[in-house]
Structure 1
Amino acid sequence: MADETAVTDTTPQQHDEQLRFTYSGGDSAELAQHLTGRSLSSRLPQLVRRSFALAWAVDRRSTIALLACQVLSGLMEALGLFATTAALSALIQSAHDPAHLHVALPSVLVLAGAAGLRAVLGIAIQGLSNRLGPRISREAEYRMLHAATNAEMAAYDHPGFNDRYDKADRGVEVSRDMIGQSQNLVSSLATLIAAAAVIATLAPILLPLLVLTAVPQALASVTGERVAYLATLRTFHDRRMLNMLRWHLTHKDQADQIRTDTLAPYLLDKYRASGARVDHTNDQAAWQRAKISFVGSAVSGLASALMWAGVIFLLGAGHIGAAAAGTLVFALRSAGGGLHGIVGYGSDLMRTGRYMDDWESFITEAAGQRLDRGNIVPDRPRQVVLHRVTYRYPEADHDTLFEVDFTVRQGEIVAVVGENGSGKTTLLKLLSGLNLPASGDVVWDGISTRELNPHALWKQCAVVPQEFARWPMTARENIQLGQPQPEADDAVRRAADASGADAVIATLRSGLNTLLAREWWGGQALSSGQWQRIAAARAIHRDAGLLVMDEPTSDLDARAEHRIFTGLRQLAEHRAIVLVTHNLANTIVADRIVVLESGRVSAEGTFCELTARPGLFRDLWLLQQDRANPSAQEDMRR
C-alpha cells in the first residue's frame, strides 16, 4: 500500500525573474538627498553658464548679440520705469494747470521709445534663441555620439551603459530649450533688478516684502520639481519597459511571431500593467505638487497683500507723492512679473538641467572608457598571436576565455569551433582589437594591440559578424562603406564576385545604385541570405590583412555557401583568415582547426587529425552526420 503521509515541501519557492532595467546612480533615495531647495537653486547660475557656453561653442556672434540685447532690454526697462515718475508728475500737475501738459511730453516720449525698443529687442532675442536652440541640440548630440563611438567596445558590456545612453539622449532632446529658458530667466532677472532699483529709490522699505512674495513660491516650485523628478526616476524602469514592448509589438522582425504565437494579448497585458504603474506614480506626484503649490501661493499672496498695504500706507502718510505711488504700482507689477518669471523659468531650467546632467554624466562615463591606446600604425599583419589571454565581461561570474594561446599567419586559414558559449566570438573580438584582454597579450607582428592606434588597426581588419549591419544606403555604399578602392566599381564587383553578391546585384532594378532599404521611399528589400552576401562582399572589399568571419554563411543556401568557401584559399594569399563556423564540413578548407571548450583551447590540428582522434571535434562531427531517420538507416544497411 502506498504511503499517503503528507510531506511538507521545505524547498524555497522559486519565482520568475522579472525584467528590470538597472543603471548606476539610479537610486531615488540617494538622489533625493541632493534634490533640495538649496542645492537646486544654487545651480541656476551654473545652468545658465552651461547654456551660454554651449551657445558660445556653436555660434559666438549670435551669443554675443543675445547677451547684448538682454542687457539693453533691462536698461530700457529701468529707464521706462524712471520716466514713468516724471510723466505721471507732469500729468498730475497739468490736471490743475493745462499749461504744464507740454512738460510731460519728453517723459512720455522716453517712455514710448523705451517700450518700443524693448519690443524690438524682444523680437531679436526670440529670433536669436530660435537660431541657437537647434544648433545647441546638434552640438549636444554630436558630443554624445562622439563620446559613444570613441569608447571601448567593453563599455557596451557594462550593465546600464545603454540605458544611460538613452537617458543622455533625453538630455539632447531638451537641450534646444535650454538657451530659451536661460534667456527668459535672465530677462526676468533684468526686469526684477530694474524694478527693484526703482523701488529702492522711491520706497526701500518695500524691498523685504518684495522678497517675501518670491521666496515661498520659489521654494514651492523647487520642491514640486523635486517631486516630479523623483517620480520620473521611479517610473524609469516601467517607461523603458513600455518602449521595449512597443518595439516588439510593432517591429516587422517579430510581426510574424506575434501572430503565429498568439502573443499579442500577453504582451499587451504587460504593457497595460506597466502603464498603470506609471500612471499611479504620476498621479501621486501630481497631487503632492498641487498641495505644495497651494501652500506656496497662499503664503506669497499674503506677502503680496502686505506689500500693497505698505504702498497705501506710505501714500496716506505722505511719505510718497501720487506720482511716486503710481510709479511704484508699475514697478511692483514689473517686479512681480520678474519674480514669477524667475520661479517659472528657473523651474523649467532646473528640470532641463537634470536631463542635461544625465547627458554630461554619460559623456564623462564614456570618456572614462575612451580609446586610450598607443599611436603605432600597423602594417598589413603577417602574424597575429594571443599569449595566455584571459577575458571576462564586466560583472560576469566567470572568465569567457582563460589563458588561451592562438596564432594565425598571413596565407593561412584557421577555423575556430566549439559549442555555444565556448568563447569563439570573444576570441575574434580580441584578435581584431575590438576588446583588450584582462590578462595576457594580443600582438600583431610582435606589437601589443594596446600600443597600436585602434583606428589604424581596424583599417587592417575586415570582419563579417554574426549580426551584420543592414545600412539604409545603396548597394555600392553598403560594400564600400564610404571607403572606395582606387579601382572604384571594379573593386566593388570583384568583392561581389568573391562573395556571391554579384547574383544579388544582378537582380536589383538599378544595380549598385539601388537603395537597400524598404522603409525608405523607393528602397528595395533583400532576404537575410542576400544581405549576408553583401556583408561578406564589404569585408572582402576592404582588402585588409586580417579577415575575421563569424558564421559567415549561416543564412546562405548550399550553392552560395560553397562559392564562398571555395574562394577562401585565393583570399588567403595576402591575408590571415580566421573562421568560426558550426558547420564542421566547412573546416576542411582550414590549414588548422582550434577547438574551444569552456573558454579554453582543448585541441588543435587539421580536419583529418581531429576527426581521427577522440575529442569534442570528433563528437560534434559524428553528431552532424547522424541525421537519417531509422527507416532510412535500415534502407542504407540493406
Structure 2
Amino acid sequence: MTSTDIDKQADEEINFAWEGDSRWEAAKYITLRHMAGRLPHLMRRSLSIAWRVDRPSVVGLLACQIVSGIAAALGLFATTSTIAALISSGNISDRLWEAWPSVAVLAAAAGIRATLFITVTWLSSRIAPRVQQEFELMLLEAATGSELAAYDSPGFRDRWDNAERGAIVSKDIIEEGQDFLAAFVSLMAGAVVLGVLHPLLIPFLLLASLPQGIAQVHSARVSYLASVKMVGHSRMIGVLRWHLADRHSADQIRAGTMAPFLLDKYRRLTHRVTDVHRQSVAEGARMAFLGALGGGLASAVVWGLLIALLATGHLTVAAAGTAVLALRTVTGSVQGVVRNAAMIFRTGMYMDDWSKFLEETGGHRLAVGDVIPGGPEEVRAENLVYRYEGSEKNALDGIDFTVRTGEIVALVGENGSGKSTLSRLLTRLHLPTSGTVTWDGHPTTSLDPHAAWKHVSLVPQDFSCWPMTARDNITLGQPHSDDEKDIWEAASAAGADEVVRELRSGLSTLLAREWLNGAELSGGQWQRVALARAFYRPAALLVLDEPTSALDPRAEHRIFANLRRAARDRAVVLVTHRLANVAVADRVVVLDHGRVVQEGTFEMLSKAPGLFRELLELQNDRTVPAQRRAAKGPGL
C-alpha cells in the first residue's frame, strides 16, 4: 500500500459526515448581509451570559464605551474651534487665548479615553475567564445529560469537539465584543461630526467600508470550514500525542518498537492539518488584498469628494481640517468594526456549535420519565432487543430475563455475546430498541433516570481510577450518616482495607502518582477500590462486570465469600468469564450472539450438554494439544 493509499484510508477513517449535519453547507453561504443580521444575536447572547456571571463589570464596560464615544465626538468638535481660532486673522496672542478652551477639551477627551481604555481592559480581563468557565460548565452539564448511547453514535464525538471549541473561544468574544463596541462608538462619533459638517460624506464613507467587509466575512468562512474539515484529524493528533507521552503506553511503545510508526502517523496527520490551514490562510490573504484594494479605491473617492466640497466653498478650511481628522478616525473605525465583526462572527459560528449541542445534546438528550422509582425488588426484561446505532445487527435479540432482591444471577457467554450490553439495559443506562425492561412493573423509559441511578451500584470492566483521595474514590461524593464506619466496612468487604492501611495517609492519600505525594496502585488494588465503592453505595441493584479479573486467588475468594451477604437486600447481576465463580449464583444465564441459549443452576448446567459445559471444560483444560491427542490414543 502506498503512502497515498494510507492517507486516503486515514481520510475514510477520520473524515466523515453525519446525517442531519447542516453546518458544512450552511457555512458555504455565509454573506456580509448574513453577518450583519447575526451580529446583534451573537452580541446579545454573549452579554447575557456575561451579565449572569458579573453584572457590575458588564455595566462598567458599557458605561465606559458610551463615555468614550462622547469624549471622541467632543474632541472632534473641539478640533474645528481650535483650527478656526488658529487660522483666523488678528493678533496671535488673542488667537491662542481664543483657542485654549478647545485645546483643553481636546486634552481632557484624550485623557478620558486613555483612562477608559485601561478600565475596559481590566474589566474585560475580569469577565472573560468567568464567561469561559460558565460556557464549559454548561457544556459538561449537557454532556452528562445525554444518553449513554450517545458515546456509541458516529459523529457524537465530532459534535462534542466542535462544541468544546465554542466553549474555549467564548472568552474571545468578550474582548472582540469590546473592540467592536469601541470601534463602533468611535465610528458613530466620527459619523456624527461628518454629518454635521456635510451629510453627503456619510453614504460615501459606508461605501468605502463595503469591500473590506466582504473580504473579512469570506476569510471568516474559509477559516471556519477548514476547522470543520479537520476536526477528526485534530482529535486523532491529540490522541496520538497523549499516547506517545503517557506512562501507561510507554512500555508498549518501547517493547513494540512503535515509536517510528506512531511518529510517522502523527507527522502525516499534522502535515495534512497544516496544509489545509495554509490553504485557508492563503485564501484569506487573497481576499484581504482584494478588499484592501477596493477599500483604497473607495477611500480615494471619499477624499476626492472632500476636496470638491472644499473647492466649491461647501466646507470652510477649519471644517475641512476637522473633516480630515474625522475621516481618518472614521476610516480606522470602519476597518475596526468590520474586522472585529468578522472575528465575532467566526467565533459565533463555533459558539453556535456549542449552543446546538446544549439544545440537542448531540442528538441524544437524556429521556426523562415522570416515575420516581424506589429500589427495585424485581428487574425484568421481556422480548428485549437492542441495536447499537450504525450497526447492522442486534446486540441483543428477544431476551427474557429476571433478577429479584436477594438473588444472584450470573451472565456468562463468549466475547460479544451481549452480557455487558444487557447489564446496562437493566440499570437504565441504555434504553431498549424494542421490548421492555421494567423495574417493579415500570418500564425504564418511564423512569426519571437520575432517581433510578440512585438505586444502582455498578462496577464496569473498565472502571475509572479517579485522581482523588482513597476516601473520595470509595464514596464518590456520596457520604452516609456514619461515613467513616461505612467506608471501612465497604473496604473490608472488597479487600481494599488492606490496600488503604498500607497507604502513607490512609484514606486521605491522593491516588495519583503524577501529583506530588500521590500514590500509585496496581491493577488489582484499583479493582478492590472499585468494588469497595460498589459495596459502599446503598443500592438495590448491584451489577458486577468482570469484578475480579485483576485479583489474585485469595482476594477473589474474599469477594465471592462476601457477595452472598451483599445480596441479602440487593438484586445482584454478575458478569464473568471465570465460570467456576458462578457457583455462587442462584441462576446462570448463558448468552450466545445476543440470545439466551441456556438457563439454570451451576450444577445443572455443568452436567447438561450445551455451551456452558463446553466453555467450562475448555476453561479447565490446561493440557497442551500434543498431550491431549496422546491421551485419546493414536489416530485421534
Q: Calculate the TM-score normalised by the size of structure 1.
A: 0.93
* Pairing 1:290–2:290 present: no
User: Structure 1 residue 609: deviation in Å?
Assistant: 0.8
Using the alignment, how far apart are the partners of 2:570 and 2:500 within structure 1? 26
Q: Check the 8 A contact 1:23/1:163 in 2, yes or no.
A: no
Instruction: Give SS of 1:43's match.
Output: helix
Partner of 2:3: none
Alignment match, 1:591:
586
2:433 corresponds to 1:438: yes
- Secondary structure of 2:436 counterpart: strand
Corresponding position: 1:457 with 2:457: no
- Residue 27 of structure 1, CA deviation: 7.4
Amino acid of the structure 2 residue aligned with 1:570 = R
Report the Cα offset of residue 375 of structure 1. 3.5
Q: Which residue of structure 1 aligns with residue 123 of structure 2?
A: 128
1:280 aligns with 2:275: yes
Residue equivalent to 1:335:
330
8 Å CA contact 2:31, 2:214 repeated in 1:
no
In 2, Cα distance between equivalents of 1:608 and 1:347? 73
Q: Is 1:181 paired with 2:179?
A: no
Residue 223 (structure 1) shift? 1.3
Q: CA deviation at 1:230?
A: 2.1
1:337-416 pair list within 5 angstroms: 337-366=332-361, 369-416=364-411
Q: Is the 8 A contact 2:458 2:544 kept in 1?
A: yes
Structure 1 counterpart of 2:411, one-letter code: V
SS in 2 for 1:204: coil
CA contact (8 A) 2:24 2:228 kept: no
**Amino acid corresponding to residue 573 of structure 1 in structure 2:** R
Query: Superposed, which structure 2 residues align to 1:228-627 within 5 Å?
Result: 228-366=223-361, 369-627=364-622
My pick for the range that moved more, 28-37 or 124-133, is 28-37
Aligned residue for 1:544, secondary structure, equals coil
The CA deviation string for residues 221-258 of structure 1, in whole angstroms up to 9 with x for no partner, is 11122222222233333222222221222222221111
Deviation at 1:182, TM superposition (A): 1.0
1:3 corresponds in structure 2 to none
Structure 1 match to 2:13: 19
Q: Find 1:108's aligned residue among 92, 95, 103.
A: 103
The one of 72, 80, 84 equivalent to 2:75 is 80
| Distance in 2 separating the partners of 1:521 and 1:564 | 32
Distance (whole Å) between structure 2 residues aligned to residue 637 and residue 307 of structure 1 = 103
Specify whether residues 631 and 222 from structure 1 end up closer, same or farther in structure 2 by C-alpha distance, changes over 3 A only. closer
Q: Distance in 2 between matches of 1:510 and 1:401?
A: 46
Distance (whole Å) between structure 1 residues aligned to residue 544 and residue 314 of structure 2: 90
SS in 2 for 1:492: helix
Residue ranges of structure 2 left out of the alignment (5+ in a row): 1-7
Q: Is the 8 A contact 2:150 2:362 kept in 1?
A: no
Give the Å deviation of 1:305: 2.2
Give how far 1:632 is off. 6.5
**Mapped partners of 2:90, 2:452: distance in 1:** 88
Q: Report the CA distance between 1:593 and its aligned residue.
A: 0.3
2:159 touches 2:362 (CA, 8 Å); kept in 1? no
Distance 2:293 2:150 in 1: 51
**For residue 5 of structure 2, what is the aligned residue in structure 1?**
none
Does the CA-based 8 Å contact 1:41-1:222 persist in structure 2?
Answer: no
Q: 1:98 to 1:476 in 2, by over 3 A?
A: same
In 1, Cα distance between the equivalents of 2:90 and 2:24? 66
Structure 2 CA distance for aligned equivalents of residues 94 and 554 of structure 1: 100
Q: Shift of residue 299 of structure 1?
A: 1.6
Paired residues, number? 624
Displacement after TM superposition at 1:193 (Å): 1.2
1:233–1:162 distance in 2 versus 1, CA, 3 Å:
closer
SS in 1 for 2:588: strand
8 Å Cα contact 1:153-1:435 kept in structure 2: yes
The one-character-per-residue Cα deviations of 1:426-484 (angstroms, maximum 9, x if unpaired) are 11111111111122221112222223222221111111100101011111110011111
**In the alignment, structure 1 residue 226 sits paired with structure 2 residue 226:** no
Q: Which runs of 4+ in 1 moved over 4 A?
A: 15-18, 25-29, 94-97, 630-638
CA RMSD of aligned residues (A): 2.1
Structure 2 distance, partners of 1:521, 1:360, is 38
1:67: how far off?
A: 1.5
Q: Secondary structure at the match of 2:75?
A: helix
CA contact (8 A) 2:195 2:202 kept: yes
Shift in Å, 1:217: 1.0
Counterpart code for 2:293? A
Paired amino acid for 1:509: R
Matched residue SS, 2:381: strand
Distance 1:452 1:484, change over 3 A: same
Q: Percent identity?
A: 50
Deviation at 1:290, TM superposition (A): 2.0
**CA-to-aligned-CA distance 1:329-378 (integer Å, 9 cap, x gap):** 11111101211111221121122111111111211221853333234332
Counterpart in 2 of 1:5? none
Q: Which moved more, 1:57-66 or 1:562-571?
A: 57-66
Is the 1:377–1:457 Cα contact (8 Å) retained in structure 2? yes
CA distance in 2, matches of 1:291, 1:62: 39
Pick which of 528-537 and 346-355 moved more. 346-355
8 Å CA contact 1:21–1:240 kept in 2: the answer is no
| Counterpart residue number, 1:93 | 88
The runs of 5 or more residues in structure 1 that have no matched partner are 1-14
- Are the aligned partners of 1:23 and 1:161 in contact in 2 as well (CA < 8 Å)? no
Of 452-461 and 414-423, deviating more is: 452-461
Give 1:602's aligned amino acid: V
Normalising by structure 2, report the TM-score. 0.94
Secondary structure, aligned partner of 2:411 = strand
Corresponding letter in the other structure for 1:411: G
Cα deviation digits, residues 297-330 of structure 1 (max 9, x gap): 1121122222223323322332221210111111
Q: What pairs with 1:143-158 in structure 2 (closer than 5 Å)?
A: 143-158=138-153
CA contact (8 A) 2:455 2:541 kept: yes
Cα distance in structure 1, aligned partners of 2:427 and 2:626: 48
